[in-house]
Amino acid sequence: MEIEAFGQHIKKLRIDRNLTQTELAKDVCSQAELSKIENGKIMPTIDIVQRLSQNLHISTAQLFIDLNETSLFQQYDIQLSDFSRRHRYDDMLDFIKQTPNDLPSSVQLLIRYFEWIAREGKKDIDYRTCISQLLYLSDQKQMEIEYPSIFLRIKMSVANYYYLNHHYQYARKVYEELLEYDYLTYDLMKLKSKIMYNFAQQLYFQSDFKKGLQITEEGIQSSLERKDTSLLGHFFYQRGCFYEELEYSRKDIQEAFTHAYTIFHALDNHNHAEIVLNGKGDFLYFEF
């Protein structure tokens, strides 16, 4: 097992349980040693692994099982997501046909989710059938509790299908239900940010600017609290668009778009920085 992967897994489990390094390291090792473990600098002894497991309230065996399953899930997710993003549905279905039958449940559910996405993408089935099958899949094996990330992604896809096919009230209902979900871990909070971004974007195109701005502001606040910049620039851009429609002061609009532009530039997201520059350049305080 790679030292880096093990360290990342320990860190993820700690963050998911809202523990500081000091709290997890208590009666186990020094905080400095735990930091080295999480950063992949050293591999802990068996004794330390056992005591870390106790503080994480997970068995030592389950610790390694979870790591292997998580790694496998990520590998399949990256590949299938790439097929989906590039609309390579035939390749996706061919890939799915070749997957082994003994994969962990989480990976099997992920594959079934993408299979329905691919079949709808190829128009082998219509969107209504796809929605029906996705909702049926989301009800399987207590998915909401055992595999919340897949459950939420399925629901988000359902909302998107409703929206793309002009069933706006159904889409809105699904998104509102998703916002009531209890997001307990860091990864789920990141997923919630994506849900808020998509929901606010749809509200913008439905001209519900006040509600959309409210969702956007929640997204900005959540991102700042978690120090997560993955969607922060997008949220500031949304804020600027809503400010324009709601006739906020020019200064407020300028600040929103300049924040978005600066964040995109700092993260080397040149495509989105260019979008802001070309579309909202008149509002920017400066250009890079």
Phi-psi group of 182: left, alpha or beta (phi > 0 → left; psi -120 to 50 → alpha; rest → beta): beta
In a domain, 78, yes or no: no
Per-residue pLDDT, 93 = 98
Percent of the chain with pLDDT over 90: 72
Give the residue with greater pLDDT, 206 vs 4: 206
The pLDDT-based confidence of 105 (bands split at 50, 70, 90) is confident
In a domain, 75, yes or no: no
In a domain, 127, yes or no: no
Contacts of residue 119, Cβ cutoff 8 Å, sequence gap at least 6: 89, 93, 125, 130
Per-residue pLDDT, 141 = 65
Average predicted confidence (pLDDT) for the chain: 93
Per-residue pLDDT, 62 = 64
**Which of 15, 33, 58 represents a domain boundary (last residue)?**
58
Per-residue pLDDT, 177 = 96
Q: Where do we find the tokens 């851009």?
A: 237
H helices, E strands: number in the chain:
16, 0
Is a pLDDT exceeding 80 seen at residue 203?
Answer: yes
Contacts of residue 197, Cβ cutoff 8 Å, sequence gap at least 6: 216, 219, 231, 234, 235, 238
CB neighbour class for 228 (10 Å; exposed up to 12, middle 13-18, buried from 19): middle
Is a pLDDT exceeding 90 seen at residue 150?
Answer: yes
Is a pLDDT exceeding 80 seen at residue 3?
Answer: no
In a domain, 146, yes or no: no
Is a pLDDT exceeding 90 seen at residue 176?
Answer: yes
Per-residue pLDDT, 57 = 82
Per-residue pLDDT, 2 = 66
Lowest-confidence pick of 49-53, 93-97, 176-180: 49-53
Per-residue pLDDT, 137 = 94
In a domain, 74, yes or no: no
Is a pLDDT exceeding 90 seen at residue 153?
Answer: yes
For residue 33, the enclosing domain spans 1-58
Quote the CA–CA distance of 196 and 180 in Å, as a whole number.
11
**Which of 58, 79, 100 represents a domain boundary (last residue)?**
58
Is a pLDDT exceeding 90 seen at residue 40?
Answer: no
CA distances for 239 relative to 79, 192, 235, 256, 274, angstroms: 33, 18, 6, 6, 18
Q: Dig out the tokens for 194 from the structure.
A: 């994506």
If you write DSSP's letter for every residue of 238-282 in order, what string do you get?
HHHHHHHHTT--HHHHHHHHHHHHHHHHHTT-HHHHHHHHHHHGG
Is a pLDDT exceeding 60 seen at residue 254?
Answer: yes
**In angstroms, how far is CA 17 from the centroid of its own chain?**
18
The pLDDT-based confidence of 135 (bands split at 50, 70, 90) is very high
In a domain, 139, yes or no: no
CATH number at residue 29: 1.10.260.40
Count other C-beta atoms under 10 Å from residue 204's C-beta. Answer: 19
Per-residue pLDDT, 226 = 87
Per-residue pLDDT, 108 = 93
Helix %, strand %, coil % of the chain (to 5) = 75, 0, 25
Is a pLDDT exceeding 70 seen at residue 1?
Answer: no
In a domain, 246, yes or no: yes
Per-residue pLDDT, 94 = 97
The pLDDT-based confidence of 65 (bands split at 50, 70, 90) is low
Q: How many domains does the chain have?
A: 2
8 A C-beta contact, residue 243 and residue 253: yes
Give the residue with greater pLDDT, 183 vs 121: 121
**Which of 58, 82, 103 represents a domain boundary (last residue)?**
58
In a domain, 32, yes or no: yes
Per-residue pLDDT, 247 = 98
